Amino acid sequence: GKIYYGVEPEFEDSAEFVCDSFNHLLEMLSSNEKNDILTNFK
């Protein structure tokens, strides 16, 4: 993830948490559900 300089530590923790959650979401979507969602966007 990116490192933000001069930002409050609380914000850095939140940003890192969001990135981890997003990565976890992508991992869950790497199953058959991912193909269904991509089809819906077409």
Residue 16, pLDDT score: 82
The whole-model pTM stands at: 0.39
Which H or E run contains 38? helix 32-41
Separation CA 11–CA 17 (nearest Å): 10
For residues 34 and 40, the model is more confident at 40
Residue 7, pLDDT score: 59
Sign of dihedral through CA atoms 6, 12, 18, 20? positive
Residue 19, pLDDT score: 79
Residue-wise pLDDT for 11-37, tens only, equals 667 778 887 888 888 887 776 565 666
- Give the mean model confidence (pLDDT) for residues 36-40: 68
